[in-house]
């Protein structure tokens, strides 16, 4: 495959102009509409012993993290303390557990626009250390995308951390891209794209073309100042694409600290509905701390699964809310909902 290729949001026919690039995910509802059955947890007290196995059911999986007022992760919740609601109605939880070992599929998106240029070398160095810490060989996969006015796939999904580090260096213009004989790659001088920032389009492309059909936990890690100037789509479209792909969006806010800085509000509005959050370092020297916070967030999570009482296959958005009881001051981060499957026979 080519060393790099352009990627763009695929919204039913939009990729006609990119006919030479094979699409990575089909148009439609995405993974959020294709939920799988999972083993159920032990039944509630009074219903007998043993474990009930739910076969042939569509369970909704919700990955969430919990922090206290000091932003410390809470890792000792029990199923009895947790309630999940769909469209305001309590649902029966079949699976509940701490989840630190589920394989992670990650798309790393790096802003290469003018406002981010001064910090790119420091960012990619810290990013390489983050990749080494998070990507477990043979288990986790990640891809690297550089974007300005358009997005370019520098490294497709791989478990090879060395390839990911090399792609980050190439984005910053500090490494040598492979020559024409190395897999058909073309040398690209310096940073590939300037003069525009298409954050939302790039998030949509990553979700629809890379993450939509992947199993397990899916995450977009976005490095940008939050100022979108050239996207064809809106922030709400990017949130919807992430929800359909069941991908959490995290952001590390970077930019010219002597200029307009980082639009943290825009990044929060993009990340929080998906179950992610935004980190804004105080300066370049604080990047490693931000990466460490992100790593902790990814490794200290819970997984619950429930079978929705509403079985209608109407394709509509269903709101999810996870609550805890018995403790005060806790903050729960999870995706705000999912899209029901549409038009399934017999429903």
Is 61 in the same domain as 186?
Answer: no
- Ramachandran angles phi, psi of 85, nearest 5°: -120, 140
Is 307 in the same domain as 258?
Answer: no
Q: State CA 152 to chain mean position distance.
A: 18
The pLDDT of residue 177: 41
The pLDDT of residue 255: 75
CATH number reported for the structural domain that contains residue 268 in this entry: 3.40.50.410
Instruction: Give the residues across from 152 on adjacent strands.
Output: 6, 146
Is 109 in the same domain as 93?
Answer: no
Cα-based torsion angle of the residue sequence 37, 41, 46, 49 in order, rounded to the nearest 10 degrees:
100
Query: Is 242 in contact with 248 (CB distance < 8 Å)?
Result: yes
**pLDDT tops 50 at residue 34:** no
Number of domain units in the chain: 2
Q: What is the mean pLDDT of the chain?
A: 78
Is 207 in the same domain as 335?
Answer: no
Residue 230 lies in a domain: yes
Q: Is 271 helix (H, G, I), strand (E, B) or coil?
A: helix
Instruction: Give per-residue pLDDT as tens, 271-289.
Output: 999 999 999 887 777 888 8
**pLDDT tops 70 at residue 347:** no
Cα 17 from Cα 59, distance rounded (Å): 37
Instruction: Give per-residue pLDDT as tens, 48-84.
Output: 334 444 444 588 999 999 999 998 999 999 999 999 9
Q: Which of 319, 300, 315, 303 is nearest to 347 (CA)?
A: 315
Is 85 in the same domain as 222?
Answer: no
Is 15 in the same domain as 63?
Answer: no
Instruction: Give per-residue pLDDT as tens, 143-164.
Output: 999 999 889 999 999 999 999 9
Largest CA distance in the chain: 68
Cα 272 from Cα 269, distance rounded (Å): 6
Cα 242 from Cα 338, distance rounded (Å): 10
How many residues comprise the chain? 347
Local confidence band at 13 (pLDDT 50, 70, 90 cut-offs): very low
Q: Does residue 22 or residue 346 have the better pLDDT?
A: 346
Q: How far is CA 345 from each of CA 59, 182, 219, 312, 341, rounded to the nearest angstrom?
A: 18, 48, 31, 11, 11
Cα 288 from Cα 285, distance rounded (Å): 7
Is 160 in the same domain as 147?
Answer: yes
Measured from the Cβ of residue 190, the count of other Cβ atoms closer than 10 Å reads 11
Q: Which of 90, 93, 84 is nearest to 52 (CA)?
A: 93
**Residue 315: domain span:** 35-100+301-339
Q: Which of 314, 317, 321 is nearest to 335 (CA)?
A: 321
Helix axes 120-134, 161-172, angle to 10 degrees: 170
Is 150 in the same domain as 214?
Answer: yes
Residue 164 lies in a domain: yes
Query: Is 220 in contact with 109 (CB distance < 8 Å)?
Result: yes
The pLDDT of residue 14: 31
Local confidence band at 290 (pLDDT 50, 70, 90 cut-offs): confident
Residue 114 lies in a domain: yes
Q: Which of 2, 20, 315 is nearest to 153 (CA)?
A: 2
């Amino acid at each position: 495959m080519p060393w790099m290729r352009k990627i763009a949001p695929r919204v039913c026919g939009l990729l006609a102009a990119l006919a030479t690039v094979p699409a990575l995910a089909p148009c439609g509802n995405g993974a959020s509409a294709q939920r799988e059955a999972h083993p159920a947890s032990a039944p509630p007290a009074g219903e007998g012993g043993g474990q009930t196995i739910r076969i042939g059911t569509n369970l909704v999986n919700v990955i969430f993290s919990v922090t206290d007022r000091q932003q410390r992760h809470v890792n000792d919740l029990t199923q009895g303390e947790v309630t999940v609601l769909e469209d305001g109605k309590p649902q029966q939880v079949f699976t509940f557990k701490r989840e630190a070992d589920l394989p992670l599929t990650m798309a790393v998106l790096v802003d290469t626009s003018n406002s981010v240029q001064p910090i790119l070398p420091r960012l990619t160095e810290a990013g390489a250390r983050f990749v080494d810490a998070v990507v477990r060989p043979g288990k986790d996969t990640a891809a690297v995308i550089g974007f300005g006015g358009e997005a370019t796939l520098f490294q497709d999904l791989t478990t090879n951390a060395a390839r990911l580090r090399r792609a980050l260096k190439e984005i910053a213009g500090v490494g040598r891209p492979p020559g024409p004989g190395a897999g058909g790659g073309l040398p690209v001088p310096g940073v590939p794209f300037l003069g525009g920032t298409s954050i939302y389009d790039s998030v949509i492309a990553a979700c629809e073309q890379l993450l939509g059909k992947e199993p397990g936990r899916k995450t977009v890690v976005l490095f940008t100042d939050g100022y979108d100037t050239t996207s064809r789509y809106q922030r709400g479209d990017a949130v919807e694409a992430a929800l359909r792909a069941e991908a959490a969006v995290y952001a590390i806010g970077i930019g010219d600290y002597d200029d307009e800085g980082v639009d943290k509000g825009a990044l929060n509005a993009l990340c929080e509905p998906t179950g992610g959050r935004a980190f804004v370092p105080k300066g370049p020297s604080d990047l490693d701390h931000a990466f460490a916070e992100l790593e902790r967030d990814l490794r200290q999570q819970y997984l619950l699964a429930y079978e929705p009482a509403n079985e209608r296959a109407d394709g509509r958005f269903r709101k999810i809310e996870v609550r805890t009881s018995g403790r005060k001051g806790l903050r729960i981060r999870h995706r705000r909902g999912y899209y029901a499957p549409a038009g399934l026979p017999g429903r």
